[in-house]
C-alpha cells in the first residue's frame, strides 16, 4: 500500500480531496483545511505541523517518507500520484495539546515526570473543532490505518498517535462498537457531548411541548427576558454578512477568550477566508439593542450590537461554534447559542444540532448526551499498561455519566432515537 506524508495541503489537489470526501460537513471540505493553513493557524510555528497521509495506487508514483519528521515528504507534482489518490487522512504533528478537546495533559505530565518526551505526537483531527466526522477520506477504514500509523511512528521520532472524534462505522467494515474489537495496543476514549435532535418538530413550541411543565415554563421565561431587556435578534446568512458585522463578531469572540486569560485560537484572517469560501454554510446571529444617541433628541435612535454567535451548517446538521458579547446580559447566551439554533433547525428541517463541546447547562434545554469516540496509541511500552487502564476506567465513568445526564433531561417522556 503506497503511502506518503505531506507537509502542506498544497501537495494534495482539491479535486482529489473532494472526490474522496463523501461528507457534506463544511469542516471536511478542502476549503476549511486550506483556510487554517493559509491563515497560518495550522503550521509548525503554531504547533500544528501538517503531516497528511496520502494513499496512492501506484508505488512507482510515490516518494518514500522522509526519515525526519519535519519537513514531511512532499508528493512530486510531476508524478502520477495525484491522479491515483485512493485515501487521505488529515494529520498534524503536535508539539502541545491545545485545541484538541480530548485532553491528555495528564499523560504529558507523567512523561515529563519521568524525563521522557511526550511530543511530538501525531493527531488526526479537525483543528480547533471537536466535531464527530469521518477522519479518513476514501475506502480504507480507520482500523486498517491503525497499523500504518503505528509503523510510521515507530520509524520516526513520533511518540504517539491520536484519532479524535471519529465515527464508529469507520473503525472496521463491520459494526464494532466496543473497545474489545480494537487491537490490543489501541485504546478507546469516550467524552460526552450534548446534541439536539429534531423529532420532526413543526415549531419551537412543538419542541417545548415535550418538556415537563416546570422546565417548559423556565425556558419560556428565559426567552421572554430577552425581549423585556429591549434586545433584538437577527440572523444573517453567510453571503449577506458584511465586513463590519464580521469584525464585530471577531471582537466579541476575542473577548470570550480574553476573559478566560488567553488569546483565541482563530484569527480574523481565518474567518474572512472561510466566509469567502464557505458562505453557504455559515450563519451569524446578532443581538442588538436600541440606544438613544442624544438625550435632547429622543427620536435619534441608534442600534448597538452587543453579542454574536457564529454557526456552520450543512444539509442535515447545525454546528454552534463561536460566541461572544461586549457586556453580560442575563440569558443572552442561551438565546443566541441554543434557542436560535433550535429554531433554525426546525425551520430548515435539519436533523441534529451540535452546539459545541461540554456544558451541562445544555441538558435542561433539551440537548441530549452522546458519546464521542477517539483512538490512541503510544510508542513507549512502559506507559502502555497504565494508559490502557486509564482509558478503561474513563470509559466506565463516561457510561455512568451518560446515564446520569439522560436522567436529568427535561422531557416528560424521552423518545427513543
Per-residue pLDDT of the chain (417 residues; tens, 9 = 90+): 689 999 999 999 999 999 999 999 999 999 999 999 999 999 999 999 999 999 998 644 434 443 333 434 444 444 443 458 999 999 999 999 999 999 999 999 999 999 999 999 999 999 999 999 999 999 888 788 999 999 999 999 999 999 999 987 655 444 345 666 899 999 999 999 999 999 999 999 999 999 999 999 999 999 999 999 999 999 999 999 999 999 999 999 999 899 888 889 999 999 999 999 999 999 999 999 976 555 555 555 577 999 999 999 999 999 998 999 999 999 999 999 999 999 999 999 999 999 998 889 999 999 999 999 999 999 999 999 999 999 999 999 999 999 999 999 999 964 443
State the Cα–Cα distance between residues 220 and 398, nearest whole angstrom.
31
Distant-in-sequence, close-in-space partners of 223: CB < 8 Å, separation ≥ 6: 331, 335, 339
Q: Which helix (H) or strand (E) holds 276?
A: helix 268-277
> Are residues 25 and 317 in contact, defined by beta-carbon separation less than 8 angstroms?
yes
State the Cα–Cα distance between residues 77 and 56, nearest whole angstrom.
14
State the Cα–Cα distance between residues 99 and 94, nearest whole angstrom.
10
Distant-in-sequence, close-in-space partners of 114: CB < 8 Å, separation ≥ 6: none
Kind of pairing, strands 187-197 and 85-89? unpaired
Residue (of 92, 96, 148, 152) closest to 124 by Cα position:
92
CA distances from 99 to 11, 161, 253, 313, 359 (A): 24, 16, 16, 21, 17
pLDDT computed for residue 177 by the predictor: 52
> Are residues 158 and 122 in contact, defined by beta-carbon separation less than 8 angstroms?
yes
pLDDT computed for residue 144 by the predictor: 84
Distant-in-sequence, close-in-space partners of 175: CB < 8 Å, separation ≥ 6: 168, 169
State the Cα–Cα distance between residues 169 and 7, nearest whole angstrom.
28
State the Cα–Cα distance between residues 146 and 175, nearest whole angstrom.
17
State the Cα–Cα distance between residues 209 and 366, nearest whole angstrom.
11
> Are residues 195 and 367 in contact, defined by beta-carbon separation less than 8 angstroms?
yes
Alpha-carbon Rg for the chain, nearest whole angstrom, is: 23
The conformation of residue 415, written as its DSSP 8-state character, comes to: P
Residue (of 97, 6, 128, 109) closest to 55 by Cα position:
6
State the Cα–Cα distance between residues 377 and 184, nearest whole angstrom.
10
State the Cα–Cα distance between residues 1 and 59, nearest whole angstrom.
8
Q: For the purposes of burial, counting CB atoms within 10 Å of the CB of 332, is it exposed (0-12), middle (13-18) or buried (19 or more)?
A: buried
pLDDT computed for residue 291 by the predictor: 67
Distant-in-sequence, close-in-space partners of 390: CB < 8 Å, separation ≥ 6: none
C-alpha cell recorded at residue 64: 518514500
Residues in the chain: 417
How would DSSP label each residue in 23-52?
---GGGSHHHHHHHHHTTSSSGGGTEEE-E
- Rounded to 5 degrees, φ, ψ at 2 are -65, 125
**In the block, which residue shows the cell 446538521?**
317
Residue (of 245, 249, 243, 317) closest to 281 by Cα position:
317
Amino acid at each position: 500500500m503506497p503511502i506518503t506524508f505531506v507537509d502542506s495541503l498544497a501537495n494534495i489537489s482539491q479535486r482529489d480531496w473532494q472526490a474522496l470526501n463523501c461528507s457534506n460537513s463544511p469542516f471536511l471540505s478542502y476549503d476549511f483545511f486550506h483556510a487554517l493553513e493559509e491563515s497560518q493557524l495550522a503550521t509548525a510555528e503554531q504547533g500544528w505541523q501538517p503531516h497528511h497521509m496520502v494513499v496512492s495506487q501506484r508505488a512507482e508514483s510515490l516518494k518514500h517518507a522522509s526519515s525526519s519528521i519535519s519537513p514531511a515528504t512532499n508528493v512530486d507534482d510531476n508524478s502520477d500520484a495525484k491522479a491515483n489518490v485512493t485515501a487521505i487522512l488529515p494529520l498534524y504533528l503536535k508539539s502541545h495539546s491545545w485545541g484538541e478537546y480530548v485532553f491528555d495533559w495528564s499523560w504529558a505530565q507523567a512523561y515529563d515526570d519521568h524525563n521522557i518526551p511526550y511530543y511530538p505526537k501525531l493527531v488526526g483531527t479537525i483543528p480547533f473543532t471537536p466535531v464527530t466526522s469521518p477522519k479518513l477520506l476514501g475506502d480504507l477504514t480507520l482500523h486498517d490505518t491503525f497499523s500504518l500509523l503505528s509503523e510510521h511512528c515507530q520509524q520516526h521520532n513520533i511518540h504517539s498517535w491520536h484519532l479524535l472524534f471519529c465515527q464508529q462505522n469507520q473503525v472496521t467494515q463491520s459494526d464494532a462498537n466496543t473497545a474489545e474489537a480494537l487491537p490490543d495496543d489501541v485504546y478507546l476514549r469516550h467524552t460526552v457531548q450534548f446534541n439536539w435532535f429534531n423529532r420532526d418538530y413543526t415549531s419551537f413550541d412543538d419542541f417545548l411541548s415535550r418538556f415537563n411543565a416546570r422546565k417548559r415554563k423556565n425556558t419560556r421565561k428565559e426567552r421572554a427576558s430577552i425581549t423585556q431587556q429591549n434586545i433584538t435578534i437577527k440572523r444573517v446568512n453567510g453571503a449577506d454578512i458584511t465586513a463590519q458585522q464580521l469584525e464585530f463578531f471577531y471582537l466579541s469572540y476575542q473577548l470570550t477568550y480574553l476573559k478566560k486569560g488567553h488569546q483565541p485560537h482563530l484569527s480574523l484572517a481565518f474567518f474572512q477566508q472561510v466566509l469567502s469560501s464557505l458562505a453557504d454554510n455559515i450563519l451569524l446571529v446578532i443581538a442588538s439593542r436600541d440606544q438613544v444617541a442624544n438625550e435632547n433628541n429622543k427620536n435619534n435612535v441608534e442600534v448597538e450590537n452587543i453579542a454574536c454567535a457564529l454557526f456552520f451548517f450543512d444539509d442535515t446538521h447545525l454546528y454552534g461554534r463561536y460566541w461572544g458579547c461586549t457586556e453580560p446580559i442575563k440569558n443572552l447566551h442561551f438565546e443566541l447559542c441554543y434557542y436560535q439554533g433550535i429554531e433554525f433547525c426546525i425551520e430548515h428541517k435539519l436533523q441534529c444540532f451540535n452546539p459545541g463541546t461540554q456544558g451541562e447547562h445544555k441538558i435542561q434545554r433539551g440537548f441530549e448526551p452522546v458519546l464521542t469516540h477517539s483512538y490512541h496509541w503510544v510508542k513507549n511500552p512502559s506507559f502502555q499498561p497504565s494508559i490502557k487502564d486509564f482509558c478503561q476506567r474513563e470509559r466506565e465513568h463516561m457510561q455512568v455519566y451518560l446515564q446520569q445526564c439522560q436522567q436529568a433531561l427535561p422531557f416528560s417522556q424521552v423518545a427513543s432515537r
